[in-house]
Amino acid sequence: MLRHAAFALAGLLATQIAWIPSALADWDKAKLDKEIVAIEREAKGRLGVALLDLKDRKTWSHRGNESFPMQSVFKLPLAIAALQAVEAGKLKLDDKITIRRSEFSLYHSPLAKAFKGESNDYTLRELIRLTAAESDNTAADNLMRRIGGPKVVSEMLRAGGIEGISIDRYEREFQPEVFGLPGFGWDRVVDEPAYRKQLAALDPKKRQAALAASFKDKRDKATPGASVLLLEAVAKGNWLREPSHSALIEKHMLDNAGGRERIRAGLPEGSRYAHRTGAGLTQDGVNHATNDIGIVTLPNGRVFAIAVYLAGSKADAKAREAAHAAVARLAVSALR
C-alpha cells in the first residue's frame, strides 16, 4: 500500500535516490504526435508509449490507455509485493525457500540452468534478485506462489491507486495459453523440450487464432499510462516503508541487463536508466510483445518515466528494439 508522503520523502533522502530533478520539464506534444506515427509504422505492430516528468508531472502518451501484454514487466510489481510481505512480517529476506526440479517454469531461467540435483534452497532475497534483475521465470513463479499468487500483486496495485495493470497468471500458465495450448498448473511438471515440440506441431491456424485472441484478453495486461504511474511511485519511494527495500528495487532495476538495444540505446551518453523489460515469443511471423519501462535520468538532471509496449509486431527483433530506441530519442528531443 502507498505510504504517507512524508515517510516516503524521508526514505528517499535516506537512500539518496536522486530521481527528482530541479529543472522544469515539459514535452513538445506536437513533435511527439507527429513523429510517433512513423516509428509505429516501422515497428509493424501496435505501439503504446507514455511519458511522465517526475517533477512537474507533465505527461504525453500514444495509445496510453490501451492495454498491452506485459510479459516480464510484471516482475517489477511482483518484487515490490514480495518486499511488502517482508515489511508486513509475513516473510523474511533470509527465509529459505526450497525449489524442486518439478517446479521449473518455461523459458528464461538462470536458476534452472545452474540447478543441481532434485531440490535447491534459495533465500527470498535471492529469488527477488533473480526475478527483478535477471528476469528468471522459475524464480518469479515460485516467488509469486510464496506470497500468495498473482491476485496479491494486483491487489497491491489497486491499493496503491494504480488502475490499468492486471496480473492474473503464473508464467507457466499464460505462456502456453498465448498460443492455444493448456497452461501448466502446479500439478503438472513442465517438460520444456516436449512443450516446444507440441507448440511447433500445433496447427498454425490455431496458433494464430489464439494469439489474436490473446491481444483482446484483459488478463496480464498493462496500459502505458498506468505503467508510468507505477514508476513514479517507485521513484518517490512510495511503495515501501523501509529505505533499504526501496534501494534494493532501484538496484535491481539498474542491474537489469536486458533490452540494451531498446530504450537505453536511444538515450544520450551519461544517462542513467533503471528499468524492467518484457518479451514474448514470435510465432508465424508475429511477435507477442517487446516491452521496456523505466526511469530515465539525463545528464542535465532531468528525470522522466517512460513506458514503451509493442504488441503483434511483424518486424524482426532488431527492428522492434530499434523502435524502442527511436521512441527514447524522440522523447529526449521533445523535452523543453
> Which cell numbers hold the place of 117?
540435483
Query: How far apart (Å, rounded) are the C-alpha atoms in residues 238 and 8?
Result: 5
Q: Domain limits at 320?
A: 5-333
Name the DSSP class of 266. G
pLDDT single digits (tens) 46-64: 999 999 999 899 999 999 9
Does residue 9 surpass a pLDDT of 50? no
Report the pLDDT value the prediction gives residue 15, as an integer from 0 to 100: 38
Q: What is the CATH number of the domain that holds 274?
A: 3.40.710.10
Q: How confident is the model at residue 24 (pLDDT cuts 50, 70, 90)?
A: low
278 membership: H or E segment, kind and range: strand 272-279
Rounded to two decimals, what is the model's pTM? 0.92
Neighbours of 39 (CB within 10 A): 21
Report the pLDDT value the prediction gives residue 55, as an integer from 0 to 100: 87
144 CB-near residues (< 8 Å, 6+ apart):
78, 150, 152, 153, 170
> Which cell numbers hold the place of 166?
492486471
Q: What percent of the chain has pLDDT over 70?
A: 93
Q: How confident is the model at residue 14 (pLDDT cuts 50, 70, 90)?
A: very low
pLDDT single digits (tens) 271-308: 999 999 999 999 999 999 999 999 999 999 999 999 99
Number of domains in the chain: 1
> Which cell numbers hold the place of 291?
516491452
Q: How confident is the model at residue 68 (pLDDT cuts 50, 70, 90)?
A: very high
pLDDT single digits (tens) 70-96: 999 999 999 999 999 999 999 999 999
